[in-house]
Amino acid sequence: MPLTLLSGAFSDGGGIPAQFTCQGADISPQLQWDGVPDNTRSLVLIVDDPDAPDPMAPKMVWVHWVLFNLPPETRELPEAVNPTDLPQGTGEGINDWNRTGYGGPCPPIGRHRYFHKLYALDTVLDGLQQPRKREVEEAMAGHIIEEAILMGTYIKT
């Protein structure tokens, strides 16, 4: 069974409800996954937007959430997950608001795509202290067993 990533809040390619954005409560959506390979030692979750600032002229990838070293037996993150409720051993990276934790969609113009990417790794990422996405990606290079992507969209109203 391949690694799959789903949300009870939105479907793949569907619209992300406002409660998970800067126009709502700005809480993280519920996420669940299945098909974690047997040899997985840790999981990484990265949420980013490749359409920043304008989908018609993107200039950067905006990082919304970085979690690493999720235990491989973890199968879900609840809606509005609090950092103290993350599975033991989970590390938090710095997003592009220069803080840890989830930062929801808040596009300045147009409909943006938000990629929720889950990676199964054959290692635990040691030595990372509130890293940025780039540092996590560098640390997991060569260790990705499988990945799953869930994409949602949002446009400010």
Tell me what pLDDT residue 46 has: 98
Q: How much is the pLDDT for 110?
A: 97
* Statement: residue 1 has pLDDT above 90: no
Q: What structural domains does the chain harbor?
A: 4-154 (3.90.280.10)
d(CA 130, CA 52): 23
DSSP the chain: ---EEE-SS--TTSBPPGGGSTTTT-PPPPEEEE---TT--EEEEEEEEEEES-TTS--EEEEEEEEEEE-TT--EE-TT--GGGSPTT-EE-B-TTSSSS------SSS-EEEEEEEEEESS---S-SS-BHHHHHHHHTT-EEEEEEEEEEE---
- The residue with greater pLDDT, 146 or 1, is 146
The reported pTM is: 0.97
- Tens digit of each residue's pLDDT (9 = 90 or more) over 27-70: 999 999 999 999 999 999 999 999 999 999 999 999 999 999 99
**pLDDT value at residue 132:** 98
